[in-house]
Amino acid sequence: MKPIKNIIFDYGNVIFHIDFNKVAQAWKDLGITNADEFYGHRQQDDVFNALEKGQISPQAFADRIRELTGKPELTNEQINNAWNQIFIGIPKGNHKLLLQLKDKYRTFLLSNINAIHYDYVHDYLKREYGMDDNSGLFEKTYYSHLMGKRKPDTEIFEQVLQENNLDPAETLFIDDSPQHLETAKKLGLQTYLMTAPDNIQQYFKTNGLL
């Protein structure tokens, strides 16, 4: 196994803690009784994938949620607020770690995200850290809705590797979704599945990568 020279990070539940159950509860709080039928971490309605690929607008997303739930009275704001309940926060020390790693490795962010969550994250970074975005923490950031691709599609990994001339065998990919890691493995990347209570600070310290 080649030594690691490059690291590609997922965002949700790797750097920024999220909780899918909080969204499920937020749907219920809006009187939505069938959320389990269209929303989940591993399986969900195609509208979520389309939003993550930038194929539809937030307005079209809200319209589809109203259709799926049979609740035409829901406002865009209510839907967006419920959808943004997924975010918990960035653990103290994560940004410091990322800056340390950036000095030692070529580091990249590769996130399945959408326009609604993208705006929320950037507002959070500005509010909590005085940062305009994540660009200062990585060599380059990649967001699915701006790329027109999403994990676990092979094309999104190939774009990151090719644009940055990365050797897959020297590249570590960290994600919380097994299906995303499977694609990375097939392309020859080293991978690590991040599962709670594990965290990136602990991982890099215990594996001698700092």
Note the pLDDT tens digit of each residue in 38-72.
887 556 889 999 999 999 999 999 999 999 999 99
State the CATH class of domain 20-86.
mainly alpha
Query: Where does 6-16+90-206 sit in CATH, by number?
Result: 3.40.50.1000
Beta strands 17-18 and 87-89, pairing class: antiparallel
Separation CA 205–CA 152 (nearest Å): 28
pTM over 0.75: yes
Sequence spans of domains, the chain: 6-16+90-206, 20-86
Task: Calculate the dihedral angle through the C-alpha atoms of 101, 103, 106, 108, rounding to the nearest 10 degrees.
Answer: 50
pLDDT at 208: 87
CA distance linking residue 210 with residue 101, whole number of Å:
7
Whole-number mean pLDDT of the chain? 95
Encoded amino acid at 17, one letter: H
Residues in the chain: 210
Residue with tokens 């865009």: 76
